[in-house]
Every structure is written in C-alpha cells, then in structure tokens.
Amino acid sequence: MAEIVVASGKGGVGKSTLTSSISVLLQKRDIGIVDGDAEAPNLHIIFNINSWEKVTEYREKSVAVINYSECSNCMLCSEVCTYEAIEEKDGAPSIMSYVCEGCGACKVICPSKAISIEKNDLSGWIRVGKTKYGPFVSSELDVGQPNSGKLVTSEKNIAREWVKEGLIKNIIIDSAAGIGCQVIASMSGATHALLVVEPTKSSLSDLKRVHYLAQHFRIRSYVVVNKYNLNPEFKELKDFVSGNDLEVVGRIPYDGTVAESMARRMPLVEYSPDSPASKAIREVSSFVDSIVT
C-alpha cells in the first residue's frame, strides 16, 4: 500500500487542487481519498459532495462533570481551575464545557469527590462519502474544540480499514497547512509526501519546516512547484532542493482556470483537461502512478 500525503508549510499553495486532480487521474488505481484538514475541510467542495453516506459524532474531549448530589458548594474547584472554566451560579459551581480542558485539577481538590472527568463532549464529526474517483472520508472539528489531530488519525484509520477489506489499494491525503497536530497525524505512517511550494521566500520558509517534519517521520519526499512561472529563477528554492537531495516531480504554471474549476466545484483536470496547469498535473500524476501499488 502507498499512503501519499500532499502537504505544505502554508495554506493556499494548491494542495487540494493537486489532490483532487490526482484522484481523478488515478481512479483506476483503487485510491481512497482523505481530507486531512479537520479545522477547515474543503476537498468535498471540489468533489461537489452535497450529502454523506455516513456521519459519525466524534467524542474525544474530556470535560469535568459535577455530581450535585455529592457537591458541598465549597467552590474550591473554581479556585484551582487555571482555565477559568468554573463559575458560580446560584451558589453552586457550574462548569463551562467549551472552556474546560479536562485537566483534572478540580477532581483532585474536591473534598466531596463529586467531580469526575468524562469524555462526553462533542468534538466534531467524521463523514464518509463516495466520489466518482473513489471512497472519501472527511471530518469537521466543532467550534472551539481540541484534538483535531486525533480526528485526522481516525479518518486515516477508516481508510486503512478500506485497504484491509480490499475496497482500495492506496490512500492519498490532502493535509492541512502548516506543521501542527493535523499535519503530524497526516504524515504519521505515510509512505510518501508531495511537498507543494511556491517560488517565494515565504513559501520556501514553510517548505523547510514541513520537509523537516517529513524527515522526522522518515518519509520519502518530493517537491511540486506551483505557479513556478511567476518567479522561475528563484535561486534559493533551487539551492534548497538540490542541497537536500529532493526531486522536483512537477512544475505547475499559474493558470486562471484553477479558480474557475473551484467555482464550478470540479477537479481542475476534469473541468479544463487541456489547460496548462492540468497538463502539468498529469506529469505529477504519472509520477504518483509509478509509486502506487
């Protein structure tokens, strides 16, 4: 099985455009598709998914719960709560679950043993659907909730079960931007990484960070330069690539049809198969085809 993560150190460099188009071009290779951005999922928009086959509530956040039949209303719990998640209401402590981090300090200090820590707060949703190109799993973190990385890991585990069941042979993951917990979850266990970069100093700085992360996980990484023709002689990017033994497997030009395809909710290679960017993505897809099983 090949598990390919499409990543970058910043947002807006074309990860979702690349992921969706590769999914179209390699649909005969039995690929399962994962949107690894639980905080701002968008791949389903490109695939024009308006309904889901299955939506599962994800409950991972731990919160403090008070058993008022045992509570003495001493308010010690409020005094030790560093998150200020416990307020007094009508003479009794009241826990604001959206602020509580489930650290357990209130449970430890409570003389009446009236507080427990439970995983009963909704963190988000995992959503499974179908595309014309393969099965698809996405997720969405509820507002203000933690554990986006665990949510992405749960998505990947679903896709890996599809592999075990023989429904797919390979997985492609559209990672979130940056190097945070969602990206760490996306990269954990991956076999290959496509690192998308633009020819600017800012994007190069972010590429260095995500490449370091890929090295940590010992993932074989390749570079795709998007909008390369806006600054084709950007020497610093060339130096970094050659200095780190990275292979550039695609150079995609700036192309106005990309925005049009987004507006039409269609993968680029399907909306405009002969556009300059589509032709370049086909070359990247050919490379990916050579590494999948």
Coil, strand, or helix at residue 172?
A: strand
d(CA 168, CA 134): 8
What is the residue-wise DSSP string for 119-162?
A: EEE--EEEEEEEETTEEEEEEEEPTT---HHHHHHHHHHHHHHH
By three-state DSSP, how is residue 249 classified? strand
- Residue where one domain finishes, among candidates 121, 149, 165: 121
Residue 114 confidence class, pLDDT cut points 50, 70, 90 = very high
Q: How many CA atoms lie within 13 A of 24 on its CB side?
A: 19
pLDDT tens digits for range 182-222: 999 999 999 999 999 999 999 999 999 999 999 999 999 99
Place of tokens 């409570």: 110
β-strand pairing of 31-36 with 61-66 = unpaired
Same domain, 167 and 191: yes
Q: Based on the domain organization, do 106 and 167 belong to the same domain?
A: no
Question: Residue 84 maps to which CATH number?
Answer: 3.30.70.20
Q: Are residues 242 and 112 in the same domain?
A: no
Query: Residue 97 — pLDDT band, cuts 50, 70, 90?
Result: confident
* Cα torsion angle, 220, 195, 18, 280, sign: negative
pLDDT by residue (tens digit) across 211-268? 999 999 999 999 999 999 999 889 999 999 999 999 999 999 999 999 999 999 999 9
Could you give the count of Cα atoms lying within 13 Å of 106 in the half-sphere of its Cβ? 32
How many structural domains are present in the chain? 2
